[in-house]
Amino acid sequence: MNKILITVTTALFFFCASLQAQNLGLEIEYLFTVGEELEFGESGYLYNPVGVITDSHGNIIVADHQGRILHIYNPSGKYLQSVGAPGRGPGEFSRITEIALDENDNLLVLDRFQFKVAKFNIEIGSIEEFIYEDMPGMTNMTLAPLKNDKFATIYVDLGAPGNTDVNTKALRVYEFGEEEYISSHFQIFKYQFDKMIPIEENMGRGIGHKLTSVDGNRVAAGHRVYKGKLFLINTNSGDVIVAENPNVGAPFYVEYDVDSISEMQGINGLVSSSGRGGNYKYQILYYSMLLDANKNYLYHIYRQNEKEAETIGDYVELYSLDGTFIDQFSLSEHLEYGEDVRLYYSHIDNENRLFVRRYFDDRDPDVRVYSLNINQDE
């Protein structure tokens, strides 16, 4: 395997300060709900949406887990057609784990249960599929398209239980149709984790990563246990830029020594894990919700939890495409949030439209679309 030199750079402080001096503001406008005219049982009706993506024309593609199917809507959310079905044949899925669009508007669908990636050319109705036998090691089932029929994924070789090897190389680049990976060069654990801390050893890898394409050669990576840092990686050169939000700082989680999870009912952001020397429970205070990039910005949405209390709020971070932190804004004051609705952020497209999946206790979920208007305050 070729060795790739990794160079880490950080954004210039003065450039970052000059951008923040612009006093940017965020306005959010509700646009529509995807497929809102459809009735239960009709084609395109959403039962359990698990992923959202948009193509170069603004058409909306939503993966629905219940039918193992992908529904396609026009830019205004009107239903057009569907592809996919449950099963193990071509174009059939056991679980639609992740969806993405490559540079040619081909729809890539990752099905980790079948160890395959399918590529749909929706315009001509063709499909290709390939099996990747090492796919069980792909944590969080990430998929980030690159140029020239390649894609990247976070790969974790866990090894034996208790393995604390921080040098595990986690970012792999595949060529579509080839079983062997091309490169594996980003030691993401070395950057992110202190393996001597129980939460990191037991849960840091398993809880999952975030990965998104920034352009044809670069990806941005992060971890769901958010520590205020994202990583922009050039998959050709191996260069890494550390993008950092100065508003996010320690502590990143709270450790409790309790015997039962029931002792901590009502605490948001809770993740349990068996620590060394006893039964420990951990509450994550910063939790990554969405990492996405468009032609304008790199976006990251995280949820901040208050210790032993309610969620403080959801925030969207804005970075330039070179990794410079610009600003962050509250989302919670604009979006419905409470006990009766659970929000999951799915995608931000080139028109700065934010796609939000909403789940309820008493009715089927939906996908709402909002416009993110970033402007300079007077």
Amino acid 21: pLDDT: 42
Residue ranges per domain, the chain?
Answer: 8-247+320-328+335-373
- Per-residue model confidence (pLDDT) at position 14: 36
Instruction: Using 70 as the pLDDT threshold, list the residues of the chain that sit under it.
Output: 1-22, 134-140, 156-169, 179-207, 259-266, 272-280, 337-338, 377-378
pLDDT at residue 277 in the model: 52
Indicate the pTM of the whole model.
0.86
Antiparallel, parallel or unpaired: β 8-10 and 240-244: parallel
pLDDT of residue 176: 86
Amino acid at 209: H
92-149 pLDDT per residue, tens: 898 898 999 999 999 999 888 888 889 999 888 889 988 877 665 555 478 999 999 9
DSSP conformation class of 45: -
- Where is 188: in which H helix or E strand? helix 188-192
Name the CATH topology of 8-247+320-328+335-373: Neuraminidase (2.120.10)
CB 310 within 8 A of CB 268: yes
Q: What pLDDT, in 10s, does the model give residues 170-217?
A: 788 888 887 666 666 565 555 555 556 555 554 555 567 889 999 999
Q: Is 219 helix (H, G, I), strand (E, B) or coil?
A: strand
